[in-house]
A and B are shown apart, each in its own frame.
Chain A
Amino acid sequence: MSTLIADTAPPLLLSARGLVKTYGRGAAPAVAGVDLDIGERMFTTLLGPSGCGKTTILRMIAGFETADAGTISLDGVPLKGVPPERRPVNTVFQSYALFPHLTVFENVAFSLRLLSAVTNLEGRVKRALDAVHMADFGERYPHQLSGGQQQRVAVARAIVAEPRLLLLDEPLSALDRRMRAHLQVELKDLQRRLGIAFVYVTHDQEEAFALSDVVVVMNKGRIAQTADPRTIYSRPADSFVADFIGGATLVDGTVSAAGNGRASIATAIGPVDAPAVEGLAAGERAVLVIRPEALSLVPTGTGLPASVVHAVYQGERTMVEAVAQGVALRFADHAPPEVGETIGLSLDRERCFVTRIAA
């Protein structure tokens, strides 16, 4: 599955090897050995729970933190000892960090004014503001803008000097759902138009899937999986990834046979033969990942008997949770059964996946 990315991989822009960072003596490492490759023009997302080291990685790339071990190179040139102001990398901070004493125009012009010879400063600032639809707000001060508008200015400020790489640390997390969905589309669109590589940090997997060419799932300072969104979803590298992506039921079991990209696993709901990660061996403990779409209702008395414990109405469909052999299974249906009802479930094993138990 890594060949799948390699085939279409664009030229390498940034490459990190063996990054380690520990804050303070005796603390667990915030980043514990991370390798990262960022291709030109790629939209890469670091996805993981709070505290897993995402911001720390961005800060090391931007030059605000020095790694205890490991290297980061840009275009093959090591960045060690290069201060933030000399890296062709700009950041959109989670808090926006707009300069309160400068107008929107001057905020965006900030990086250009620091350059010795800039032609057409005004035009470039205007173009950056245009790109984020903020051209009419140049004379305002940051405190006169809404959260979404401030976020756009932060993006304009970070792209105006045309960095090679743009780092975005949860730039949309402070916004409401609608604004977020709207700006996601705009960010993705902007990234395509500018052709700048983005490294985006979020802990929202829907956002990660919607935006990214490559998703890097992180767990406790390590990378659990690096792949395109579809692969992350359908072939999670371990139980942490499957669980973090959400929605699935994870059922423990023992592998009875494995090979050729498949495995047979004995679980509480019976033996299942399904696609599997590479390298599983018979006798090993593993998990069966059951996505909602792998389950469907069949006439009661056929399939796997289960009793309905929850039905959560979600508009278009209803999420149902039913227990079979002590295992809670989730699936979606348009005509949901009643809570307490006994139903029959059929399992599409081709839509299941057998994967490792995360360390």
Chain B
Amino acid sequence: MTARLPALGRAHLALPVALLVGLGCLAPLAVLVIFSVFEVEDFELVPAFSGRAWAELFTTPSYWVLIGRALFYGAMTALLTGLAGYPVALALARLPAAWKGVAVVVLLTPLYTGEIVRIYAWRIVLGAEGLVNAVLEAVGLIDDPLKVLLFSPLTIGLVLLYNNLPFMVLAIWVSAEMVDRRLIEAARDLGARPISAFARVTFPLTLPGLAAGVFAVFALAAGEMLTPSLLGGTYGATAMAIIDNLFGTAFDWPLASALALALLVALFVAAVGLASLLLQTRGARAVLQRGRT
């Protein structure tokens, strides 16, 4: 009596990991859902049903601002890294093989340094007595230090771009490597100048990579807590930081759970929407179907 598994072929090798990921994903979610409808009495979570947390969440506009800000950071970072990363990824794909390894290591170096170290490095570079201001003053371009460099939306944008660029570049690079050079030659042969060969062949076929990059960077940037709060000044209050605060000092676990869930749903819907828009294109569909002939 052998078990009759659906005909998954080798795909069933992925089952254990899928199970683990599924459980690891669903269990905390379930916990959040349950906590969000509990009550808190004398700094203790009481298992009695209450809609108080959700009511507070829906009636307090500042929470919606926080969620909106997270979505905005995510979208902005996805856009900026997409624009900045696309040419980098293409250049990477065209490097001689011997240089590719070096280039990838250089690209990933910022990630090895750890977030806190990086943030303090940015403070040193961008601060009132920082490197950038010192250079600008020495050259005589400015008389007083530029304040806008640190603790401003500009700072947040810059650092989010910097932190997330490697992920975007990696994602696009992989799909740029998969574009058959012979297709570009075919386009040229048929009369396309280099720029239109790019627009008509290379770009559509790298859209899956761009979609993967957008998906990853959007989620990473929207969920970022340290960078905005340590570098963004008054603009740096994030939903993540508030959730952290609610769970910790304020001990309002139901409200923290409700906010976390609302944020998660908003991010998920937005990320899936964005990525599937890109994946709907003909180029992306062609690449994704390639293995199915």
Contacts and interface: CB of A to CB of B under 8 A. Distances in A.
B192 to A, nearest CB: 6
A64 B185 CA distance: 8
Interface string B256-293: 00000000000000000000000000110111011011
A189 B86 CA distance: 46
Given A114-B196, A143-B293, A101 B189 contact: no
Interface residues on B, range: 20 to 34
Contact of B191 (A95, A102, A115, A144): A115
Interface stretch (A85-93, A247-255, A284-292, A340-348): A85-93
A141 B189 CA distance: 21
A157 B190 contact: yes
Interface residues on A, range: 20 to 34
B185 A97 contact: yes
Nearest to B289: A143
Nearest to A90: B189
A226 B92 CA distance: 45
B193 A85 contact: yes
A251 B177 CA distance: 52
Interface in A275-326: none
A97 B182 contact: yes
B137 interface: no
A286 to B, nearest CB: 44
Contacts of B148: none
A91 B189 contact: yes
A161 interface: yes
Contacts of B200: 99, 110
A11 interface: no
Contacts of A64: 185, 188-189
Interface string B162-201: 0000000000000000001011011111111100100011
B204 interface: yes
A160 to B, nearest CB: 9
Contact of A97 (B180, B191, B293): B180
A300 B165 CA distance: 86
B112 to A, nearest CB: 36
A83 B192 CA distance: 10
What is the predominant secondary structure among interface residues of chain B facing chain A?
Answer: helix
Contact of B287 (A85, A101, A110, A161): A101
Interface string B200-214: 110011000000000
A85 B188 contact: yes
Given A84-B185, A97-B185, A143-B289, A111 B282 contact: no
Contacts of A161: 190-191
B290 A100 contact: yes
Contacts of B192: 85, 110, 114
A62 interface: yes
Contact of A62 (B189, B282, B289): B189
Given A90-B190, A144-B293, 15 more contacts: A64-B188, A84-B188, A85-B193, A90-B189, A91-B186, A93-B182, A97-B180, A97-B186, A99-B183, A100-B183, A100-B205, A110-B187, A111-B191, A114-B190, A143-B286
8 contacts: A64-B189, A84-B189, A91-B189, A97-B182, A102-B282, A110-B190, A110-B200, A158-B189
Interface of A: 62-64, 83-85, 89-91, 93, 95, 97-102, 110-111, 114-115, 141, 143-144, 157-158, 161
